[in-house]
Each structure stands twice: as C-alpha cells, then as structure tokens.
Structure 1
Amino acid sequence: MSIKAEKLLREAKHIIEKINKSHSNALINFDEHLVMNRLENLEIPKETNIAGEFIVIKDVFDMKGLLTSNGTLYGENQLFPEKSAFIIEQLEELGAVILAKSNMYEYSLGVTSENETYGNVINPLNQYITAGGSSSGSAVSVAEGIVSYAIGTDTSGSTRIPASCNGVVGFKLGYNPLYLEGMTTISKELDHIGVFTQTVQDCQRLFNSLNHLKEKPNSENKPTIGVPNAFFNEGNDETINNMMSFAYHVLQAIGYEIVEIDTSFLMSFDPLKVSRTIGTKDISRTAYDREKKGLYPSERIVSINKQGASISNDDYNDALDKKRYITQKFNKLFSDVDVILTPVMPIVTPFVNQAYINRRHKEEDISDVMVQYTNIFNLTGHPAMSIPSGYYARKISQGIQLIVNNNNEYILFDVANSYEHYIEE
C-alpha cells in the first residue's frame, strides 16, 4: 500500500468517528467495510485537484453494488445497480473516494428535510430550523465538516436552498444531460446536478476538475452585477431586504458596478406554475416505469402521478414554450450584465415542520415560497450559486444567489470568491 493510501485510510477512520458521533441523519447506505476495502485497493491516478478527497453522494445516483433507495424503502425489488452513474465514474476517475450516500427528501419531491424512512435531517447550526432539501443530507455532511465535498441534485432549488439553510456553498451547474445518466430523475427538462462545499475555492476546484479546466486569471475589467427591478423583490421579508442591502454594500466596496435590470416580464405569468407543469408531467411518466420494476411508489408519488395525468399535452407544450421564452429573456439580459444577484429565498430559513407562512396578506405554502427565486434558473439552465451572505438570522448566514450565462462560470467564481474573502476579513 502506498504512503498516500495509508494516509487516506487514517483519514477515513477519523471521518468514520465523526459519522458515528453525528446525530444529523445526514448519511444513509454507509458501509464502513466497503469504504475501507476501496481504499486498500485504491490506485491513485495522476495528481488532480480532488485526488484522495472523500465525497458524499445524494442517494439518487447509482453506485455499483450499493443500494439506490431515493430516500425511501418502498417496494420489494430495491435497486443494487450493476453500473455507476456518470458523475460517480467521473469522480472516481479523478481519484475521489465516494464515502456514502446522503439522506434526502423522498424521491427529491420536496425542499425541506423531512424523511419518514431514515429520519429527518437535522440542521447542525440550529436544530429548530429546516436543513432544506431535497439534497439535505449532502448539505449537512459538508456543514458538519464530515466531508469537504458533496454532490446533490437541483430541480427547483434542491442544492441552493439547503446550502442557504446550512450556511455552505451550493452550486447548481449549468444544464448538462450527461450528468443525468445513472440518476433517478424528476424531469430531464429541469434536473441539474449540484455541488456542496464549505468554500467557494473548494467549489471551483471540484468544478475545474470535472471539466478538466485550469483556473482562468481574473479579468482586468470588473464584472457588472445586475439587480432585478421586479419579481425578485416582491414580498421579501424585512430581514431578506436588509441582507440584500448588506450584499450591495459588500459588492460595491469590492469595486463592482451594480446596475438595475428589467425583469418585469416575469410578472406576466407564474414561473413556478410553468416549472410545476413540466416537472409534474415528467415525473408521472417515470413513475409508471418504477411501478413496472416493482418499486411501489409512496402515496406522494401516486398523488403526483394522478396530477400529471390531468395535465394535457397542450398545457405541457405551452409550459415548454414559456420555458424557452424565459430563457431567451435572461440570455438577453446577460448581454448587458455579467452576473445577476438575487436572494436565494424571499424569507428567512423556515422552522422545522413549518407548512405555511403568512405573506402578502395571505397564507402561502412554505415550499412554494422557498423555491420562488431558484426554480426560474432550472427553467433557463443557467449556472447558479448560493453563497453565505455574511448577514445572519436564526444563527445562519442567509444565502444570496449569483447567476451567470452559460460557459461564464469563471466570472461566477471570481465574484463569489471576492465576496467570500471580503466578509471573512
């Protein structure tokens, strides 16, 4: 065994001690003997940025020989895949060590951290506050310091929301259907993979490794930050407005120009309805395949299947047309600005089991409110990142969202790194 492999074995034992002491329910399908066996036979590839790093994977990704449960144990014929998902194969080729599967909201169908099978995922910063979802276990495994890297998914905010809830970095990569191979999908129109890290620099390191990129030098010209004039400021609570004022101050102090951009086109229809129409129809189609395999869906899946059947093809195609329209409008905005800044959520991180919130003189579903500002960029497919703002409420540094045009991730990392360094000084 090489010296590096021996060092990794010692690190693994230390991590396993952390897991055994944790009460967060962040990890499931963890096999200590499997990890140790993998390390003993590990061949360290040519040095990469993430060679020897331990990574947690959301339990929607297939890993050869390990149960894919999707956060539930419904069904008689559980899946033990013969082939790993594309993202897992890629990570292992880069020398990363998959440590465990992470807990999640069942079948990725919610943005809170409840799970009836494995137990709710507990927010390590404040046990009374939701850890967010659906990639809750991945976010918490990073927030607790069990690992430095974790992989999740994001269909309407399932990476950015738990990142914001747990005070970590959450990056929804730009749309890439390759990453959906070997993954239990909700909607191939909306699904993205997501990355959780403790720092922006770590996030960039993983992204560059996945894309075989070398770090680009910072541009001599400071990127321009666009702030929406509509939709993203409708119904924000006072704390979120104060957080955004704080973020503007930080960005201006760094030297970025902040300009207003016109997003009033979003007020003419409901982006969440567009997203739900597409996603519900898509998942109702995949639910049929799951039933054929003997994976009997829960009542929630059955309910969504019925909802999907009630959506006409005309309504579905109309939603796809609106998706393309929204994407075109944001692409045009990116010809005027480099980065768009919004809150991750219009509200402070909610309490555990909070189902509704009184907002704008009416009672609203908490999940609908939580995804209000994130689901749009699943429609457009643009890279979007949640980073801690440095403005605290309920013991948590609430998240701001940074969005860039496709293939401009280096600008996103430039701004996010600068922001992170400024608030840490």
Structure 2
Amino acid sequence: MPADVDLDHLTLTRAAARLADRSLRALDLLDACLSRLHATSSALNAFITVTEEEARQAATAADAACDAGRSQGPLHGIPMALKDLIDQQGVPTTAGSRVRDDEPPAAQDAVVAARLRAAGAVLIGKTNLHEFAFGSTNQDSAFGPVHHPSDQTRLSGGSSGGSAVAVATGMALASLGTDTGGSVRIPAAACGLVGLKPAYGEVPLDGVVPLSTSLDHVGPLCRTSEDAWIVHAVIAGLPADQAAPPAPRPPSSLRARVLRGYFMDLMEDEVRAHFESAVRQLAACGARISDATIAHAEDIVATYAAITLPEAAAWHAPYLAEHADRYTPAVRQRLEAGQQVLAVEYLRARAGREVLRREVMEALEGCDVLLLPTLPCVAPLVGQETVRLGEQDISARAAMLRLTQLFDLTGHPAVTVPCGTTRAGLPVGLQIVGRQTRDLMGWAGGVEREVMGVTG
C-alpha cells in the first residue's frame, strides 16, 4: 500500500483531487483498497465477488486517460463496490441467495453501473447483503452474515451491509446499495457513514433485482455528504449544470422539525442522548427547531408490510415454485406470507400510503427538513433476535426498520449522517428528510459540519 494513502480517513472528494493533480495514481489507490479488502474481508464477509482483474484494467485505463488530460470527472479512477442486487456485466448477481445459483452472469450492466463506468469509476466487486434485500440486519445471507467493522460480534445492519462495511473499512471509497425500507440508511448509520435514499423515481432501477417495485430506491453509501452527492449525481444522470455538489447550508438559517411521538417513544438511551445533543447543537447555531408528529404513524408497519410482502411474493413466484428450499428460512417465510395478502388489503395499504405521504408533506410545511434518529438502537449482535427498547422487547428486524420505512412509503428523500458514538464505540445516525434531494444534501452538508466537524 502506498504510504500516503490513508484509507481510514480518505474521502472520495479528496481522492478525486489527488487523482486529478496526479499526486495519486488510480492503480496505486486500487492496490491500497484491494490490500485492505484481502486483509479484512474474510473476517467481515463484506464481498461475495471481487472483480480484481477487471478493476486493474479499469484503473490502468483511468491512469492513461488522466495522463493524457482526459479525466471523466470526480469518479474517474475511484474504487467503488456494488450491492449484489445490481447487475455488473459478466458477473453473477446472486442477491445473497442460492436461489439464483443456476442464473448466468449478467449480460449487461444495470443502468446505474453503466453510468458509474461511463464516469470512470473502478468497480471492484459485488457486496454481501441480506438475502434478496428482504431484511434489515444482514443476518440472513446464503454467504453468511456481514460483521460490523468496529465489533465483529455484531451485525453491519442491512440489507446493504456489505456496501457499508466496504466503505467504512476503506475497501472502497463509495458503494451503491438499495433502499426499500431503509436498507441504505440502516447500515450506513450502524457503520458511521452517510447514506442517501433519493426521492422515489430519481434513479433508474433497470438491472436491479427488485424487492418491492413501488418502494425500491438505489442510493450511495459514502463517508461525507459531498461524496454521496457526487455519486448520486452520476447514477441519477444529472446534466453537468446540475451535478456540482450543493454548498453546505449554514444551520443558522435552518428551519427544522423534530418528529416526536412514535419516532421517539422506543429508543435506547444512548441513541436518544446523541440525537438530542445534535438537535441542541443545531439550535445553539441559530437553527429554528420545533416539534411535529405524524397522525397515522402507528399504521406505518402494517401499511409497509401489506405493500412489500405481496409485491415481493409476486416477483418471486417462479423461484418459490421451483426452488423454495434454497431460500433462507426467514426470507422464505416472509415471501410465503406475502402470498396470503388479499387484494383488498394491498389496495387499502396503497391508500394508506397516500395518507402518510400527505402527513409528511404537512409536517414539512413552513420548514426545510425533518429530523429524527436513523435507528432506535445500535447494531445488534450476530444471532440476536430481539432488542430492548424502553420497556419492550421487539424483533431486531422491526427495530431497525422502525424509523426509516416511512420515507420509502412516501418517497421523500432522506439521508443519514453520523452524530456520535456510544461508550462502546458504536455509531449513531441522524436522519434528515426533505422535499428535494439537492436541497436536502445542502442542509445535510451544513449539519454534518456543525455536528461532526466534517470539512470535506
């Protein structure tokens, strides 16, 4: 590894600047990332497939282009990873399952993968995930669970757990995940990263294995909000005049509402303390902060289940008919439950989703963003079935979805940024929700600077 490549702190933005001024070469950066991957991935189980030869060819080509003055932009020469739901040409898309063992390698890139390649990104492999993205912990994968980078007795969070661990440990400088109930934001928060779920429909899903077609999103996991915007701009296909990162907006001009009630009722004490501390810091900077509630918040879980379960079961029907025994038991059980959801229940949930969307829009009236924790708990232990929140024991899966799934239902853009660590060294995430992705990321940049001191 080159002595001047500090993968514990290097951001995509800083690496891009060094690649551009040629103080760092793409092949040397790739070598550093691959060295970290080979040293740590077996213990953390972050990757399913590593495309080392292809990545070296891409990095060599990136260096040649940069030497000739033909940089393709800020992702040129940047090592990136794809969640293994996203097609990469010539590579199997396993979806973390043995169900697809008989499937041939992908014939072409997913649209988002093709856009990354066109921007000069170096794709290093496919990351591990909760099977078919149907879980929030990363416990259930045919390839084994993904372990937390700070404590290997714990899980990464999911379902994009491998994507989070790859970036948190410096195996890649950015990654893509999918988010249907929180699967970008959950592992990002659990691993101390920025994770962006853009507004629904902003990023194409062609070539991505679906979970719930009306709720699926693709988004980046990175170390900073600026990095996340750069990746988002590429995968969303934004024109050049809209692709530059938004300037961080000062918290002194922020109008925010904290979602209370349901969203704060069940929470570990240290998570609550870090979140409230972040809110106080923003208020001390001049942010105008008030409280809000969502009237039908208690309906979120049932509404979400009545949409995701049957949509997932419909897509999986051929696989369930032929290879039901290849699923992990918990995921198979959820899919079979989806087959029992009545059409009237599904249609009622779709109507309930519109009610929730209106209530989130009402909460945003007269303010810039909504604030709430990303997770009510820290990353659970491997094999842990329940977590204690207040006086209740609830399933780890439900706990980790509790605060994120609303915004997949409503389609609002949402991002998690780090806001501290517990005494045990486990990260806590602050979730910020807005109307438009670009405006949201400007506010996220300002919050990030004030709460965590991030400057680039």
Question: TM-score, normalised on structure 1?
Answer: 0.91
Say which of 427, 435, 440 aligns to 1:412: 440
8 Å Cα contact 1:75-1:296 kept in structure 2: no
Does the residue aligned with 1:398 lie in a helix, a strand or coil?
Answer: strand
RMSD: 2.5
Are residue 7 (structure 1) and residue 25 (structure 2) matched? yes
Please tell me the residue identity of whatever aligns with 2:308.
Answer: G
Counterpart Cα distance in 2 of 1:70 and 1:217? 36
Equivalent residues in 2 for 1:152-301 (5 A)?
A: 152-176=177-201, 178-210=203-235, 211-212=238-239, 213-217=243-247, 222-263=253-294, 265-267=295-297, 269-290=298-319, 297-298=326-327, 299-301=329-331
C-alpha displacement of 1:324: 1.1
Equivalent residues in 2 for 1:130-169 (5 A)?
A: 130-169=155-194
Does the residue aligned with 2:25 lie in a helix, a strand or coil?
Answer: helix
C-alpha displacement of 1:381: 0.8
Which residue in 1 is equivalent to 2:53?
A: 33
Counterpart Cα distance in 2 of 1:296 and 1:81? 24
Are residue 372 (structure 1) and residue 402 (structure 2) matched? yes
Does the residue aligned with 1:180 lie in a helix, a strand or coil?
Answer: coil
Does the residue aligned with 1:185 lie in a helix, a strand or coil?
Answer: coil
Counterpart Cα distance in 2 of 1:147 and 1:199? 14
Deviations 1:221-275 (A, max 9, x none): 8121111232111122322221222011221123211112232x124x4201111
Say which of 329, 339, 345 aligns to 1:309: 339
Q: Judging changes above 3 Å, is the alpha-carbon distance between structure 1 residues 215 and 177 closer, same or farther for their aligned structure 2 residues?
A: closer
Equivalent residues in 2 for 1:284-363 (5 A)?
A: 284-290=313-319, 297-298=326-327, 299-359=329-389, 361-363=391-393
C-alpha displacement of 1:289: 3.8
Q: Judging changes above 3 Å, is the alpha-carbon distance between structure 1 residues 82 and 236 closer, same or farther for their aligned structure 2 residues?
A: same
Counterpart Cα distance in 2 of 1:13 and 1:397? 28
8 Å Cα contact 1:75-1:295 kept in structure 2: no
Deviates more, 1:332-341 or 1:284-293: 284-293
Which residue in 2 is equivalent to 1:21?
A: 39
8 Å Cα contact 1:77-1:293 kept in structure 2: no
Q: Judging changes above 3 Å, is the alpha-carbon distance between structure 1 residues 214 and 236 closer, same or farther for their aligned structure 2 residues?
A: same
Which residue in 1 is equivalent to 2:4?
A: none
Counterpart Cα distance in 1 of 2:57 and 2:176? 22
Deviations 1:107-130 (A, max 9, x none): 111111225532321211122222
C-alpha displacement of 1:416: 2.1
C-alpha displacement of 1:187: 0.5
8 Å Cα contact 2:51-2:123 kept in structure 1: no
Deviates more, 1:35-44 or 1:140-149: 35-44
Counterpart Cα distance in 1 of 2:26 and 2:249? 37
Which residue in 1 is equivalent to 2:135?
A: 110
C-alpha displacement of 1:104: 0.9
Counterpart Cα distance in 1 of 2:395 and 2:312? 21
Are residue 85 (structure 1) and residue 114 (structure 2) matched? no
Counterpart Cα distance in 2 of 1:162 and 1:124? 11
C-alpha displacement of 1:72: 2.1
C-alpha displacement of 1:356: 1.1
- Percent of aligned positions that are identical: 23
Question: TM-score, normalised on structure 2?
Answer: 0.85
Aligned length in residues: 420
Please tell me the residue identity of whatever aligns with 1:270.
Answer: D
Counterpart Cα distance in 2 of 1:385 and 1:178? 15
Gaps of 5+ in 1: none
8 Å Cα contact 1:77-1:295 kept in structure 2: no
Deviates more, 1:221-230 or 1:246-255: 221-230
